[in-house]
Amino acid sequence: MTVVQSSFTLEPTFFHREEWLSLLQKSYGYQRYDISSDTWTTPLLKVEGIFGKRLISTPFSDYGGPIGEVNANELTDLAKDVLERTSCEYLELRVSDHNLKSALNSLGFCDLAQYATHLFDAQEGGIEWLWQNSLSKTARRYVRKAQKEGIEITEVTTNSEWECAYQAYFKAVKQLGSPCHSRNFFFALRELRPLSHAYLASCNGKNIGTAVFLTGNQSLHLWLIYCLKEYKKLGAIYLLDWVGITLAHNLGLKYFDFGRTRIGSGVELYKHHWKGKDKQIYHIALFKKRRSSPDPSQLKFRMSSILWRFLPDSVIARLGPKIIRSIAL
C-alpha cells in the first residue's frame, strides 16, 4: 500500500508578496478569498468573465499556491468550502512541488497544464566567468550580434520611458496575436520599485522591445520580455536576457529565473541556450462540475490570435485588457 505524503513545507515566492497581490487587485478588480490555517496560507483571487468564475493562486504569476507548513487534506477541505461560498466553477493552484501536486491529485485535484522554467546560477563565479562558462556559444554569439547591430538596453525610470516601454510591448504582443495588459497595469509596476526593474531595447532610435524583472528572495524573475519580430534575429531577446542575468548577479541573487513556458515550445528550447537547470511548474485544479479551462494551445485560441493581429490599435487597446483579465494566465 502506497502512503501519500500529506504535509509539506513551502517557501514564499515574489508572487506571494502582498505588494504583487494588491497590484493585481487594484489593476483588475479581483477579489481576495484566501484560505489558511494556523501554519499555512494560500492567496486566492476571484477571476470572472468570458471563461466563467474561477479562483486562482495566482493570476499572471509563475508561482502560487500554499506557503508555510501545509497539510494537503486540510487545504482540500478548505478549497471545497471556498468554492461553495464563492459559486466558482473551480480553484486553480500553480505549484512547483511535485510531491504536493501528487498528494493533491490523490485528493481530487486535476492536472490543467505543465510548464517548465529554467534557473540560471547567477553567482557561480564573476560576471566574466559566467560569460565564458555559463552561456552556450549560440547565446554569446547572439548577444554580440545584438551589440554589433547597435541594439541598446536602458533601464526605464521616467514616465516618458515607461510610455516608450509600453508602446514597444503593445506592438510586440499585437504581432504575436496576443491581448495586452492595460497601460494602467503596466505603469503600476513602477509601484513595486525597487522590487521591479524594467528595461527598454532600442535600435537606431527606434524602440523595439522591453523586459520586466521581479525580485524575489533568492531569484530574479523574468516576468515579461518581448521585442518586435524583425529584431529577434538580431539577438535583441538574448541581449535583454543577458542584462537580466547581469542584474541578478549584481543584486547578489542566487538565480535568474527565465519564467514558465509550455514544455516543448520554441521558447523552452531557446532557454537551453543558457546553461542551468529546469524546474517544473504545475497548474492543477479542483473542479465542481465542468472540466475545462482557458488554454492558448486550443484551436479557437490560435484562430482568434490570427484575427487579432489585424484589428486596429484602438480596438486592441480597449478590448485587450478585458480579455487578458478574464484569461488570467
Position 2 scores a pLDDT of: 46
Single-letter amino acid, residue 289: K
Residues 112, 235, single domain; the answer is no
- Residue indicated by cell numbers 472540466: 291
10, 66 in Cβ contact below 8 A?
Answer: yes
Residues 50, 111, single domain; the answer is yes
Predicted confidence (pLDDT) per residue in 78-117, tens digit: 999 999 999 999 999 999 999 999 999 999 999 999 999 9
Q: What is the CA radius of gyration of the chain?
A: 20
Residues 106, 125, single domain; the answer is no
Examine residue 69 and state whether it is found in any structural domain, yes or no. yes
Residues 175, 287, single domain; the answer is no
Residues 270, 233, single domain; the answer is yes
Predicted confidence (pLDDT) per residue in 218-252, tens digit: 999 999 999 999 999 999 999 999 999 999 999 99
Residues 134, 259, single domain; the answer is yes
Q: What's the chain's average pLDDT?
A: 91
Mean pLDDT on 255-270: 89
Position 3 scores a pLDDT of: 46
Examine residue 54 and state whether it is found in any structural domain, yes or no. yes
Residues 51, 188, single domain; the answer is no
pTM, whole model, 2 decimals?
0.92
- Report the percentage of the chain scoring pLDDT > 70: 95
- Residue indicated by cell numbers 478569498: 33
6, 103 in Cβ contact below 8 A?
Answer: yes
Residues 77, 174, single domain; the answer is no
Residues 172, 268, single domain; the answer is yes
Single-letter amino acid, residue 130: L
CATH of the domain at 183: 3.40.630.30
- Residue 289: pLDDT over 80: no
64, 93 in Cβ contact below 8 A?
Answer: yes
The domain in which residue 295 lies consists of 7-117+280-327
- Residue 1: pLDDT over 60: no
Examine residue 182 and state whether it is found in any structural domain, yes or no. yes
CATH of the domain at 84: 3.40.630
Examine residue 1 and state whether it is found in any structural domain, yes or no. no
Residues 160, 59, single domain; the answer is no
- Residue indicated by cell numbers 484575427: 307
Residues 76, 197, single domain; the answer is no
Position 260 scores a pLDDT of: 93
Q: How many structural domains are present in the chain? A: 2
62, 26 in Cβ contact below 8 A?
Answer: no
Examine residue 193 and state whether it is found in any structural domain, yes or no. yes
Residues 231, 211, single domain; the answer is yes
Question: In this predicted model, which residue has the larger pLDDT, 159 or 302?
Answer: 159
